[in-house]
Amino acid sequence: MTETATPAAADWPAPAPGAAPLPRMVAAQASLELRTLLRNGEQLLLILIIPVLLLAAFSHEPLVNFGPGKRIDFLAPGILALAVMSTAFTSQAIATGFERRYGVLKRLGSTPLRRSGLITAKTLTVLVVELLQAAVIVAVGLALGWRPHAGGGAVAWSLLLVLAATAAFSGLALLMAGTLRAEATLAAANLLYLVMLGLGGVVFPLTKFPADAQPVLKLLPAGALSDGLRSVLQHGNGLPVRDLLVLAAWAIATIAIAARAFRWE
């Protein structure tokens, strides 16, 4: 019986211990975050099904007088704002709060990915989900008769508003998830979601509220985003500088406070 020759040690590649490149680690973590989110029925209900149901229900039934023009033209930009809020704020706050409670963040913080890579991966996940939400909501809106102003300027201004709002809502989500218990984060995030849904100009025009309250409501991130998107997509105006500045101020403040106050354990 002939024995098979064993390759010499020199024929084997030399071991190369060390972490994978940062972009590959971030991409792998973002892929994991996205798969986990899409497998969660409660999260899908929050980030996709509820906005689509609201869009379909309020666009046909005369539940609210939206003023002149088609209801869908007023409603669709507000539903896009709601989708950003549900993903960047509510969903992220709840998920991060429970990851912190179960020690997931602590363990990931000790890996080669590091905290900056984890935050980048979460941000990429949020942006991908928002892109999917926008595609579905725009498709449903167009099927229901929505005809937005969709020139190059409108698209650019809308993206700028969404990016600023994503930063603002993400900062608020991390601030809440990093300072409160997971159960408190769950309750507070859902409560704020309902409050901003009702008071943020999403499905109810801010003009329906008392005149003294309207300036305050426009300073909320939900109000600034819905008003800004409506100004661009419904009325065809240029960049809504005031709304963008409100969102930028929220983003700077919440991210700065969250960076100091966030507790990883």
pLDDT single digits (tens) 65-115: 555 567 888 899 999 999 999 999 998 999 899 888 888 777 776 676 766
Q: Is the residue at 14 inside a domain?
A: no
C-alpha–C-alpha distance, residues 64 and 27, integer Å = 44
C-alpha–C-alpha distance, residues 148 and 235, integer Å = 8
Q: Is the residue at 150 inside a domain?
A: yes
Q: Is the residue at 62 inside a domain?
A: yes
Q: Is the residue at 18 inside a domain?
A: no
- Run of H or E including 242: helix 241-261
Lookup: tokens for 247 = 């969102």
| Cβ atoms of 53 and 147 closer than 8 Å | no
Q: Which residue has the higher pLDDT, 169 or 20?
A: 169
pLDDT band at 36 (very low <50, low <70, confident <90, very high): confident
Q: Is the residue at 4 inside a domain?
A: no
Identify the CA nearest to 30 among candidates 136, 117, 130.
Answer: 117
Looking at the whole model, is its pTM more than 0.75?
yes
Q: Is the residue at 211 inside a domain?
A: yes
Q: State how many domains the chain has.
A: 1
Provide the residue range defining the domain that includes 174. Answer: 23-261
pLDDT single digits (tens) 171-213: 999 899 989 999 999 999 999 999 988 888 888 888 888 989 9
Q: Is the residue at 15 inside a domain?
A: no
Eight-class DSSP state of 19: P
Q: Is the residue at 13 inside a domain?
A: no
